[in-house]
Homo-oligomer: A and B are copies of this chain.
Amino acid sequence: MTRATRLLDLLQLLRRHRYPVAGAELARELDISLRTLYRDIAALQAQGAHIEGEPGVGYVLRPGYMLPPLMLSQEELEALVLGTRWVADRADARLGEAAHNALTKIAAVLPKDMSDDLESTGLLVAPAWPRHESAIDLGDIRSAIRAEQCVSLRYTDLKGDTTERTVWPFALGFFDHVRLLIGWCELRQDFRSFRTDRIKSWDLTGKRYPKRRAALLKAWKAHKDAEACNWQSQNPVLYSDNPIRVPPPAQS
């Protein structure tokens, strides 16, 4: 790779990380020596990029340096289309529509020859497996999450017991067969996941919960990691009970 293109790549790399990145890591990603990386950073700074480097911390790109080109590559466009197709097929209807709308808006500001290929992108998503449908509207749940609102749930757990609890919802997990509402449960004083198809009903309490969504998300991830039963380990128990049978291929 030539230096000229690498500088642009470096800029994009910095843009992508919203938190400080160590030079060593950037060097690894670009496949250059650390020494060269320092030189590249200096070159970008000399051209006006606002890159801040602190010893012991790493580099951050302060927003505002947009002179360099900013256009989606063919591959990036394909990636967006594929992601949108998945959302349209596997997430809830409202979100799927939102994904389509977003893509349309993006296409509208793209050069014509690029937006032409949107439809014919040859990347396909396997159709959804049969799913436990939720009785409730996930769009509203998402609104509650966004607004950091406490909700009260009437929930039937795996044993069939129905309880009513107040929950601070901060995430929604999309699995193959079910969706999980993840939140802090005031009843249990702990993080809990709720299968959306088992939520019988829910209400906004009107109260805002006293933490930031991002903080809860972070705490939850740390909690899961500590438990060694984390999101990454994808404990099947969370969603594989009551298995759904795969119907035979349609024959008509």
Contact = CB atoms under 8 A, between A and B. Distances in A.
Interface of A: 2-5, 7-8, 11-12, 15-16, 18, 43, 46-50, 62-80, 82-87, 90-91, 94-96, 98-102, 104-106, 108-112, 114, 118-120, 122-127, 129, 139, 142, 145-146, 169-176, 182, 212-214, 217, 228-237, 239, 246, 249-252
A174 B78 CA distance: 13
Stoichiometry, as copies per complex, reads 2
A113 B236 CA distance: 37
A8 B79 contact: no
A78 B236 CA distance: 26
B234 A126 contact: yes
A48 B12 CA distance: 14
Contact of A87 (B7, B79, B102): B79
Nearest to A126: B175
B249 A235 contact: yes
Nearest to A66: B70
Contacts of A246: 236
A21 to B, nearest CB: 13
A98 B237 CA distance: 33
A229 B231 CA distance: 35
Contact of A5 (B47, B64, B118): B47
B95 A79 contact: yes
Nearest to A230: B250
Contact of A120 (B12, B64, B86, B217): B217
Given A11-B69, A83-B84, A228-B252, A119 B214 contact: yes
Given A71-B66, A234-B249, A249-B236, A105 B76 contact: yes
